[in-house]
Structure 1
Amino acid sequence: MITVYHLAVSQSDRIVWMLEELGVEYKLEWFDRGEDMLAPPEYLALHPAGMAPVVKDGDKLLTESAAILEYLNHRYGGGRYSVKPEEEDYADYLYWMHFNNNVQSVFFLKMALGGDLSAQPDNMVAKTAQRREERYYAHLNDYLEGRSYLAGDRFTCADIMMMFNLTALPLFGGRSIDDLPNVKKYVEGISQRPAYQKAMAIAGPGASRPD
C-alpha cells in the first residue's frame, strides 16, 4: 500500500492527483500546518529533507514531486504519462517538468521581499525577480497558444507539475493568471479532468482533514 504523507496546502496534492489518474489504491495521512503556516515537527521528521511531498511505497521513502510522479507513473502506470526519449516531444516534456522550480524560486523570493516587487524600484534583487516572474509567465502564455497540453497533444506528468503553480500560488501572493488568456484556458481545460477534481477535493488547497 502506498502512503501519501499529505501536508495541508502543499505540493503533495500532485501525488494524490497522479494516484487518482492511475487508479492506484493509496492511504492518505494528513498533517496540518502550524499557526506559522510551516510544517509541524512530526512532518519534518518523516524525511531528512523535511519537505513535502513525502510518499512511502513498501520500504522506499520518496520525496521531490517530479521524482515521485515519474516513479509512480513508470512503476504503476507503464509510463503512460511520460514522454520517451525517442519521441518528438521529449525535450518539451523535460523542460516543462523542471520549469516549475524556477517559478517557485521567484515566488519565494517575492515573499521574502514583501510581496510587491514593483514597490522597490531601487532594489536590484526585486527588479530581477519581477523581470523573471513576468518573463516566465509571458513565455508560458505564448507557448500555450493553440495548445491544450505542455508536451505534445496528450496529458503528461508535466501538466501535473504545472497546475500547482498556476492555481495554488496565487492564493498566497503568487502571480495571478487573470491577464494570461492562454494560461487561463489551459487551466480550465486541465481542471475538467475527473481525477484532478477528485484529488483537489481530497487534498487540494481548499480541502480539509478527513473525519
Structure 2
Amino acid sequence: MITIYHLAASQSERVIWLMEELELPYRLERFEREADGSAPPAYRALHPFGTAPIIRDGDQVMAESAAIVEYISRVHGGGRLSVGPDEPGYADYLQGMQLSDAIQTALFVRMAYAGGAGENSDEASEPVIVRACRRREDGYFRYLEERLSAQPYAAGERFSCADIMVLHNLTVLPHFGGRAIEDLPNTQAYVARVRERPAYQRAAAIAAGSEAPAG
C-alpha cells in the first residue's frame, strides 16, 4: 500500500487527489509545518529532496509531483489517468505535466527579486531575468487559456494527471503572488469544472484533516 507523507498546505494534496480519483487504498502520515513555514526535520529526512510531496511504495521512496503522479497512474492505476503517445492529446498531456514547474519557476524568480529589490520598482529597471520570467509567465497562461477555449481539460476531452498538475497553480499560487486568472474566462470555467469532481472535494477535505481516507 502506498504511504503519502502529507505536509500541511503543500503540493502533496495532488497525490491525495490522484488516489481518490483512482479509488486506490493508501496510508496518510501528516506533518505540520514549522513556525517559519518550513517542513519539519522529520519530513526533510524522508527524502534527499526534502520537498512535498513524498510517497513510499514498498522500498521505493519518491519525491516530485509529476514523477509521483505519473508513476502511480501507470503502476497502480493501469494508466487510466495518463495519456499515451498513441492517444489524442498526448502532446497537450506532456505540456500540462510540465507546465506546473514552469509556472512555479517564473514565480520563484519574481519572488526572489521582490525580496531583494522590492515590488515597487518599475518594470523598466527590473533585471533582464525578471522581465524574461514575466514574459514566460504570461505565455504559459496565454497557452492555457487558448487550449481551454477548444477543449474541456488540459490534455483534451478527458480528465487526466495533467489536470491534477495544473490546478494547483491556478488555485493556490495566486495567494503567494502568483498570477491571478480573473481575466481568463476559459481558465476560470475550467477551475470551476474540475473543482466539482467528487474526488477533488474528498481530497480537499482529507488534506485539511476534516475527513479520513477510506482505505
> TM-score, normalising length from structure 1?
0.92
User: Partner letter of residue 61 of structure 1?
Assistant: V
Kindly state the Cα deviation for residue 89 of structure 1 after the two structures are TM-superposed.
1.7
Q: Which residue of 2 aligns with 1:128?
A: 132
CA 1:138 to 1:3, structure 2 compared with 1: closer, same or farther past 3 Å? same
CA-to-aligned-CA distance 1:17-60 (integer Å, 9 cap, x gap): 00001111111111111122111111110001111110011121
Kindly state the Cα deviation for residue 127 of structure 1 after the two structures are TM-superposed.
1.8
Q: Which residue of 2 aligns with 1:77?
A: 77
| Separation in structure 2 between the aligned mates of residue 88 and residue 24 of structure 1, nearest angstrom | 26
| Separation in structure 2 between the aligned mates of residue 8 and residue 29 of structure 1, nearest angstrom | 10
Q: Which residue of 2 aligns with 1:171?
A: 175
Contact 2:205 2:211 in 1 (8 A): no
Contact 1:118 1:127 in 2 (8 A): no
Kindly state the Cα deviation for residue 121 of structure 1 after the two structures are TM-superposed.
2.4
| Separation in structure 1 between the aligned mates of residue 160 and residue 82 of structure 2, nearest angstrom | 6
User: Partner letter of residue 64 of structure 1?
Assistant: E
Kindly state the Cα deviation for residue 126 of structure 1 after the two structures are TM-superposed.
2.4
Question: Which aligned segments of 4 or more residues in structure 1 are displaced greater than 6 angstroms?
Answer: none
Which of 171, 184, 205 is equivalent to 1:201? Answer: 205
Q: SS at 1:46's partner residue?
A: coil
Q: Which runs of 5+ in 1 are unaligned?
A: none
| Separation in structure 2 between the aligned mates of residue 185 and residue 68 of structure 1, nearest angstrom | 27
Q: Which moved more, 1:184-193 or 1:126-135?
A: 126-135
Q: Which residue of 1 aligns with 2:195?
A: 191
Q: How does 1:17-56 map to 2 (within 5 A)?
A: 17-56=17-56
Contact 1:110 1:117 in 2 (8 A): no
Q: Which residue of 1 aligns with 2:110?
A: 110
Kindly state the Cα deviation for residue 125 of structure 1 after the two structures are TM-superposed.
2.6
Q: Which residue of 1 aligns with 2:16?
A: 16
> TM-score, normalising length from structure 2?
0.90
Q: Which moved more, 1:193-202 or 1:84-93?
A: 84-93
Q: Which runs of 5+ in 2 are unaligned?
A: none
Q: SS at 1:50's partner residue?
A: coil
